[in-house]
Amino acid sequence: MTNLKRHLQAETPANLPIWREFGMGIDWLSLHYSPDYFGLGLPKGDKSAVILVPGFLADDTYLGEMYYWLKRIGYRPYMSKIGRVVDCFDSLVNRLLKTIEQAYQETGAKVHLVGHSMGGMLARAAATLNPEQVASVITLGSPFRGIRSHPLVLGIGELVRKSIKTQGKRPNQPACFTAQCGCKSMEALNSHFPENKIMNTAIYTKQDGVVDWRACVNDNPATNFEVNSTHVGLAFNPFVYRLIAQRLAQSHAKEMKIVSQESRVA
C-alpha cells in the first residue's frame, strides 16, 4: 500500500481558522482589478476543452467567472454538468465522465480538467478512469491525500452520507461517500495517478480555513504551487488564474512534443 492510499483512508478533523474564509471577497475583488482577468500577458489558449468541476455542496454556477475567462483567453470551456456535489462520489464521477466524452468528441482532442476542492478529487478519479481522453488535471485546494477538514465540513459530510443511505441509492456500498468506499471511482482516486500520461498540477494555500493544505499536495514538489488565498477564494484568485493559464499552455506544449516524437518514429 502506498503512502497516498494510507492518507486517503483517514478522515479526521483539523483545527483550522475557518473565519479566514470571510476574506474570499478580497480574492474576488483582486481578480477584477487584475490584468490577468482580461488575459493581459497570459499565454493564449489553443481552443482545447477545459472542464470546470465544482466543490462540495456547490454546483457549476459559481465557476462562471472562470468559464468566461477561459473563453476570453482562447479555450473552449465546459461546465461539469454533474449537478450539486451532495451525491454519491461514484455517481458524480460517472456524470463527469460523460462530459469528458462529450468534450473529447466535440473538439477531437484530449481535454483539461480544473477542479475546485472536492471537484479536484472528482477530476483526478475521472482522469484515472479515462486517461486516454484527458491531457491535464489542475486541482485547487483539493484534499486528495485524505479528508482532513474543519469539523463543520466533516459534520455536513456526515449528513450527506446519511441522506444517501436513507434514499437507498447505494445499498451495496455501506461506506458510500467515504474514503473507504469500494466503488470504482473511489478506488481510482486511491490508486496511483497516471502522471506519465496526464499532466498534474496541485494549487493550494496555507491560509486554507476549510481543509488542511498538506492533504492538497503531490509528492512531486515540481507539480505543487502555493498561492495566498482563502479556500473558497481559490476559484477567484488572480494568481490562481495566472497559474492555470501557464499550466494549460505547458500541457499543450508537452502534447505537441509527444506528437512530434511519435511522428518521427512513424
Give the span between the Cα atoms of 127 and 129, in whole angstroms.
5
Per-residue pLDDT of the chain (266 residues; tens, 9 = 90+): 344 444 444 577 888 889 999 999 999 999 999 999 999 999 999 999 999 999 999 999 999 999 999 999 999 999 999 999 999 999 999 999 999 999 999 999 999 999 999 999 999 999 999 999 999 999 999 999 988 888 888 888 888 888 887 876 666 777 787 788 889 999 999 999 999 999 999 999 999 999 999 999 999 999 999 999 999 999 999 999 999 999 999 998 877 666 555 555 55
> What are the sequence ranges of the domains in the chain?
3-265
Give the span between the Cα atoms of 176 and 12, in whole angstroms.
17
CATH fold group of domain 3-265: Rossmann fold (3.40.50)
